[in-house]
Amino acid sequence: MNVRSWIPAAALAAALGLAACGKQEEAPAAAAPPVMVAPAESLRIEDRIEATGELRAQNAAAVASQVAGQVTRLARDEGDAVAADEIVIEIDPERRQLEVESARAMIAQADAQAAEAARELSRMEKLHAQGVAADAKLDQVRTQLRLAKSSRDAAQAQLGMAERSLRDSNVRAPFAGLVARRFVSEGEFVQPGQKLFDLVALDPIEVEFHLPERDSSRVAQGASVAVRVAPFPDEVFEAKVSVVSPTIDPQTRTLRVKALLPNGDGRLRPGLFARADLGVAVRENVPMIPQEAVLQRADGAVAFRLEGDRVERRSLKLGAYHEGRVEVVEGLAPGDLVVVRGQDKLVDGSPVSVRDAQGAPRGGVAAGGEATAAAEQRR
């Protein structure tokens, strides 16, 4: 091979390589993705505190039998109103009365035996003092007296049990209310513990509902609650908060609340679905951003905050939603600029080009790769 011909060829290849490298260096960087931003603002918002719940009886009891026996009378039936301590069902009270009289007769018999034993002891003590009665005989009579007194005590206890059974045979309402359901019929034999009837108190009636934990500080005992139910859509029933749970449910992150509302006419019934309205709460200086700025990721809600010509990924803790905006509890401060469009493919530290609503560079300033291209053109 001719050395002279090889040298120009090598020089030509080197020159072409340098030219190619120069072209690569002069190529502009990839253009930054265009985005639109909006500020986080401090706003005054009005929150209407609403919840759904259910009407419940303030008092409800499943009344069961305390004694065994036959149901001899149904004094009240399903749907009847009863007063506190009123008889609802009788379970053979006549038989219980006979047991009471028998127990009283046993007490009388035990009293007679005890009196006889006392007289015998007095006589035996005199004979013993005269040396006529032996010590063993005196001890025997004393034992008989103790046995007689014990029998009297047992008879007295038996009388107490019989009187208790007599009272329990007249099954009474533990509180004023309505007989919601009856489970036995007249003539049926029942056992202790068997359910006889359900009793509910409807005036006042309770509405129970749950509030999100962010609203837990806005309710207190005595607060007014407007209640609506489906059967009476045009009426609003006024209630007062009676119970505020001292703890937040760890599973649902909600607070249990009860309110009492008058129900003298009995129109409101347990089990009805109810809507509770606690009114409006006004909050000042609440940091809020447009909802479209928020992305849901595996680690929760995030947004991209503008830092110069790049963005910073921020994890957010959100609060209330209001008119297209969402409250930022943690993660951003008022005045921060957040990306509201074009953020789907951004990552932490991505360069961006901020645009206005017409798509033009915001303020005539380009960012990222566009800034590099503009600088090259000016050269």
- Ranges of each domain in the chain: 34-43+285-369, 49-57+202-283, 66-190
Grouping H, G, I as helix, E, B as strand and the rest as coil, residue 308 is coil
The pLDDT value recorded for residue 367 is 41
Spatial separation of the C-alpha atoms in residues 140 and 143, rounded to whole Å: 5
Cα separation values, 126 from 123, 139, 145, Å:
5, 13, 16
Options 1.10.760.10, 2.40.420.20, 3.10.50.40, 1.10.357.140; CATH for 34-43+285-369 is: 2.40.420.20
Residue 30's pLDDT is: 59
pLDDT at 306: 94
pLDDT of amino acid 363: 58
Which 3 state secondary structure label does DSSP give 298?
A: coil
- Residue 172: CB atoms within 10 Å: 16
pLDDT number for residue 153: 87
Helix (H, G, I), strand (E, B) or coil at 294: coil
**What distance in Å separates the CA atoms of residue 149 and residue 117, rounded to the nearest whole number?**
9
- What separation in angstroms does the CA of 99 have from each of 3, 90, 106, 170? 139, 16, 11, 15
Question: Per CATH, which fold does 49-57+202-283 belong to?
Answer: Elongation Factor Tu (Ef-tu); domain 3 (2.40.30)
| DSSP result, 224-291 | EEEEEETTEEEEEEEEEEEEEEEEE-TTT-EEEEEEEE--TT--S-TT-EEEEEEEEEEEEEEEEEEG
Phi, psi (deg, nearest 5) at residue 119: -65, -40
What is the model's pLDDT at position 92? 92
CB-based contact 280:46 (threshold 8 Å):
yes
Query: Does the global pTM surpass 0.85?
Result: no
In this predicted structure, what is the pLDDT of residue 6? 37
Measuring CA to CA, which residue among 60, 56, 53 is closest to residue 226?
Answer: 53
Whether omega for the bond prior to residue 33 falls within 30 degrees of 0, making it cis, is: no
One DSSP character per residue, 148-168 reads: HHHHHHHHHHHHHHHHHHHHH
Residue 155's Cβ-count burial label (10 Å; 0-12, 13-18, 19+) is buried
* Helix%, strand%, coil% for the chain, nearest 5: 30, 40, 25
CA Rg value for the chain: 45
Task: Name the residue with tokens 């609340």.
Answer: 257
Q: Which residues lie across from 354 on neighbouring strands?
A: 35
Q: Check residue 297 and report its DSSP letter.
A: E
Q: Which residues of the chain have pLDDT under 50?
A: 1-28, 364-379
Side-chain-side CA neighbours of residue 348 (13 Å): 4
Instruction: Specify the pLDDT at position 374.
Output: 37
Name the token pair of 348: 């932490």
pLDDT number for residue 278: 87
Q: Nearest-CA neighbor of 150 among 124, 125, 117?
A: 117
Cα 271 vs. chain centroid, distance in angstroms? Answer: 17
Range 111-148 burial, b when 16+ CB lie within 10 A, else e = bebbeebeebbeebeeeeeeeebeeeebeebeebbeeb
Distance from C-alpha of 317 to C-alpha of 304, rounded to nearest angstrom = 14
